[in-house]
Structures are given as C-alpha cells and as structure tokens.
C-alpha cells in the first residue's frame, strides 16, 4: 500500500525547488488532465488557465465526440492521448477499480486498446501514442505488450519503477482530488505529494530523471481545486529552477 506523504506548505515547496538549484539541477515537471470526451464549461476553464502551459489531455475514445476535436483545434497548447477504451470498471466489487487490470484476458484488453487508439487517431490525428490507464491501473501482462497495440508510451501514478521494455513511461505524482469525497484534497496534501517526489528525486529514492507530474480531472473539480491548480502553475512557472516540459518532448522517443 502506498504511503501518504506528510503535508507540506508553499514554503516547503520553495525549499524543495531551491534544493534543486543548489544541486545544479532543474526541477522538471509536467501537467496531465484525465477524462475528456467533449467540450464542457469545465474543459473551457481548464484550457483558459494558462495557454502557455502545455498539458496532456487523456481522452476516452469510446465516448469522444467530434466537437472535442473541433474545440481543441484552437487550443495549440493541448496534447491528447488515449485513456483506455470506455472507462468501464471490470474489477470485482470490493477491489480497486480498473479497466485494464488482470480481470479479463490480456489479449482482449489489448484489442480494446488497439481499437481505442485507432478511434482516437481518426478523431485527433496529432494524438500522442501514449496510454493513460483509467484509474491508473494496468495489468503487467497488458503493459508489456502495448507496442503491439500501437502504444509506445505509458503514464500511471506514482514514482516509476519497472518500465515495460520498449515503452517510455512518465507518471503523475500529485492527484489533487480526494476520490472518496470527490473534493479537492487541500493544499497540505497536494503540496505534500509534490514535495515528496521532488525530495525523492534528489535523494535517489525515486528516478531523478522522471519529471514531477501534476494530475487534474477537470470534470470533478470544485472551486478549491481550480484555485490550487492556478496557483501551482504560477509558482512552478516562476521559480528559477523549475522547468515545465512539453509532453511532446517528454515522449519524443516514443515513436
């Protein structure tokens, strides 16, 4: 079971970033948002946060509508990728939710992924060949065969450990939502997640080269979540040692 990092505040974030500067390194980071299907007021709010910040929008292909492609045509800072097939949960009751877990034959799951990728490419030709598993869970037997389904990159949650051969994996490390209450987790816990990953990169307990990922879910945000997201973007953009990475560059080798 994952250990919840201790809460942190904005001063802790500054100290963690300053530590990167003192070590002569850049605190690289990126932004991912999940569950897009069509234009909504929440999506508009996300796109308006900062058009200078490239973000990955994970799209559910079975539910995606042509209106999403039309809207994103005027949002050049958005990169899209695959978010499973239909975001259905196939795990038994009482177990962690998963669409791409071990509960069905891997060949069947991979077939859905391939179908989703073809569907997404027709709708959004510039989409990254990258998979974000719904609920951030994927069976190892599926992950190791992703290239056969046309997928060359993967993003789940938590510091990356064992990366499937031939796959570029860069995860998210701060989920700003509490999925038990479907509300913002609060500054202390959100900053705690970011600070913990930054510290782990510095002390070597996590891959030092994995950019720190901030994860949002625009359809689920309350006002407090939107406020934090706006503030963290400003803070990370303005710090001398924080470097925002374009997902196209992060996953450039996933060809």
Domain ranges across the chain: 10-250
Length in residues, the chain: 255
User: What is the model's pLDDT at position 255?
Assistant: 47
Q: Which of 190, 171, 192, 178 is nearest to 229 (CA)?
A: 190
CATH class (in words) of the domain with range 10-250: alpha beta
**SS3 of residue 207 by DSSP:** coil
Cα–Cα–Cα angle for 85, 222, 231, nearest 5°?
A: 100
pTM: 0.96
CB-based contact 64:37 (threshold 8 Å) = yes
The pLDDT-based confidence of 254 (bands split at 50, 70, 90) is: low
152 DSSP assignment: -
* CA gap 97, 82 in Å, rounded: 18
Strand partners, 169: 154
At 252, the pLDDT band (50, 70, 90 cuts) reads confident
The mean pLDDT value for 98-126 works out to: 97
Residue 1 has pLDDT above 50, yes or no: no
Give me the pLDDT at residue 253, please: 62
């Amino acid at each position: 079971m994952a250990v919840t990092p201790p809460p942190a505040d904005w001063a802790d974030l500054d100290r963690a970033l300053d530590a990167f500067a003192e070590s002569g390194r850049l605190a690289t980071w990126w932004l991912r948002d999940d569950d897009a299907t069509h234009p909504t007021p929440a999506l508009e709010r996300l796109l308006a946060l900062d058009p200078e910040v490239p973000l990955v929008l994970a799209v559910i292909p079975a539910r995606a509508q042509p209106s999403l492609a039309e809207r994103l045509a005027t949002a050049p800072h958005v990169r899209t990728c695959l978010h499973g097939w239909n975001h259905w949960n196939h795990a038994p009751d009482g177990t962690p939710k998963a669409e791409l877990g071990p509960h069905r034959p891997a060949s069947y799951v991979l077939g859905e992924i391939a179908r989703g990728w073809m569907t997404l490419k027709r709708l959004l030709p510039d989409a990254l060949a990258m998979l974000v598993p719904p609920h951030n869970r994927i069976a190892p037997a599926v992950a190791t065969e992703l290239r056969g389904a046309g997928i060359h990159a993967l993003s789940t949650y938590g510091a990356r450990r064992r990366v499937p051969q031939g796959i570029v994996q860069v995860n998210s490390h701060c989920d700003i939502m509490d999925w038990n209450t479907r509300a913002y987790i609060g500054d202390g816990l959100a900053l705690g997640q970011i600070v913990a990953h930054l510290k782990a990169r510095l002390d070597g307990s996590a891959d030092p080269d994995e950019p720190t990922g901030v994860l949002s879910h625009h359809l689920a945000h309350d006002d407090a979540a939107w406020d934090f997201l706006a503030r963290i973007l400003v803070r990370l953009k303005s710090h001398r040692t924080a470097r925002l990475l374009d997902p196209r560059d992060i996953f450039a080798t996933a060809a």
